[in-house]
Each structure stands twice: as structure tokens, then as C-alpha cells.
Amino acid sequence: MLTDAVKMYLAIRRAAGFELKAEGFHLKSFAAFSEARGHQHVSADVAIDWARTVPSIAQRARRLGTIIRFARYLRAEDPHHEVPAPIFGAEKLPRPAPFVLTMDQIHQIIDAAAHAGYRTLRRATYSTLFALLACTGLRVSEAIRLRFNDITADGLVIRRTKFRKSRLVPLHPTARAGLERYLRQRRPYAPFDDHVFVSIRKKPLLLANVEIAFQMTVKRIGLPHGRGRVRPTLHSLRHAFAVRALQTCPEGRDAISRHMVALSTYLGHSHIAHTYWYLEAVPDLMRDIADQAECLGIGGRS
């Protein structure tokens, strides 16, 4: 039964650390769709018909990609399962070009947030949050989930994050001083909540509200905003941190490899390819690579 195969497949992958919420739902839907048509093995035609039940080509590609992985797993032990061809195109679209903030722009964002709105804790909350994102490279979701106990002498403990793994993020003394300054204002404001960052309603920050505050801030200082263009997002603060870290990478193949692995671990990337992506996504880093390659080609230092 395909339904039983789906349960086994999901159990194995989830034991390896994958959540598979959407994939689990899709696989169960596909199994029911196939069994209703009398199929106990993966059929390429049935898989394509099932993927076609949604209108978007991008959705179809993602759904079919899920079945392709599932079919490959099953076919390893049973050749009766068919692996569909990816007829709807690539499952994942190319990542959009990042907007890499300069240090001046980051300072403008923090300063604008510190002077926006009413004279309440809101100013300190968003200016401190944006500064913390810029100097640590944290994901926004990680920062707004921070609790008092996550601030340790060794740094910030980021608990069971995107890939259900915890990691330690060291804090520069200036970052620690800024965070402690904010906490002196914040603790008496909402003494019964242990989240580091709270809203003016004395509740944990919501991602949607942080997004709005950031977009209002970048608009205020004149940075691009709106759809259909390369524009700064909250993730741009993380991008800026990653790019600065790569720009300080020492020369030498071994040193570069160690630096990339360390940065990938620090950022909490699931795969080091996500860290190497910055090399091709940022023109300044691509230019550095081209210069090094040219130097190597003419017999200089690499």
C-alpha cells in the first residue's frame, strides 16, 4: 500500500531531522489519489496527473519534485515504482539577488528606528533588534524567540532553530553592552514575560509587525521599497553580515575552506552550498574571485 510506504518514508526522514510538513501532506494526498485509481506503486502518469490538480506551474513542479524523491526511495528496493520526469521544470526557482546593505545604510536604519514613532520602548526595541541582526547574522525568527536565559556569558544560545539544532552565537562586547542597555529599559516594562524583545502591548514581537517596522524605516531613509525591484528586506541585515564575514576571509585554499565551514555553522545553514551562494550573488565577491583567478592564471599568488 502506498499509504504505508508514505508513513515509513516520512518516519525515516523525520528521524533524520526533517520536518516535512508540506511534503507529508502532499505525499498522503498523492497516496490517496493513486490508491483511488487502483495503483499500489508509484506511476509516473498518475503522479503527473496529481501534480496537475493545482493551477500554478511552480506549484506543480514542487509537488512533482516531492514524488520524484519518494519514488527514488521506493525504487531502490522495488523496480515496479516509476520515477516521473520533471516535466514542469525546476522544483526550486533561482534565489533572488540579495540587497546587501552598506555599513552607512545599516547605521541609518538603526538611527531611524531609534527616532521613529512615540517616545516608548518601541524605539529601543526596533533599533536594538535591527542592530543585533546586523552584527550577529541571526534570522529574524531566531531573534524574536530569544529568552532571558538564552543570553549567557559565552553568547546567545539559539535553541532548536530552522533545522531543530541549537548553536551558540558569540557576542562582541559592544553588542552585549547594547543588549544589556535595552534590557534595563525592557525588564520593568513587561516583567512577567521573559522574551528579550516585546511589543508596546507587552507581548512577544510578531514577525509581521517587525516586517512592517523595517519597511517603514527603509522608506523613511529613502531606500528602494515596493514589489518588482531589488529592495532591502529584514533578511538583508543577515546578508550584510555574511558578506562582511566573507570579505574578511584570509587567503589560501585551506584557510578559505575552514572559514566557509565556520561561517556556515555560525549562520546555521543546513548545507554549505547556502553559504557559497553569497560568492555568486554579490558582485563585489564575484569581482574578488575573478581577480584571484586572473592572478592565478598569470602565475601570481592565489
List active site positions: 139, 162, 235, 238, 269, 278
For residue 48, the SS3 value is helix
DSSP bridge partners of 204 = 198
Contacts of 197 (CB under 8 A, 6+ apart): 125, 128, 129, 143, 144, 146, 186, 204, 205
β-pairing, 155-158 with 167-169? Answer: antiparallel
Q: Judge whether 285 and 278 are in contact, CB under 8 Å.
A: yes
Looking at residue 6, its amino acid is V
Closest by CA position to 289, among listed 255, 244, 256:
256
Whether 83 and 14 have beta carbons less than 8 Å apart is answered as no
- Cell reading at 229: 525591484
Q: Measure the CA–CA gap between 113 and 211, rounded to whole angstroms.
A: 13
As given in the structure block, the three cell numbers for residue 181 are 542597555
User: Among candidates 60, 59, 62, 39, which has minimal Cα distance to 51?
Assistant: 60
Backbone phi, then psi, for 78, in 5-degree steps?
A: -140, 105
Helix (H) or strand (E) holding 175: helix 173-186
> Could you tell me if 268 and 161 are in contact, meaning their C-beta atoms sit under 8 angstroms apart?
yes
Q: Which residue has the cell 512615540?
A: 118
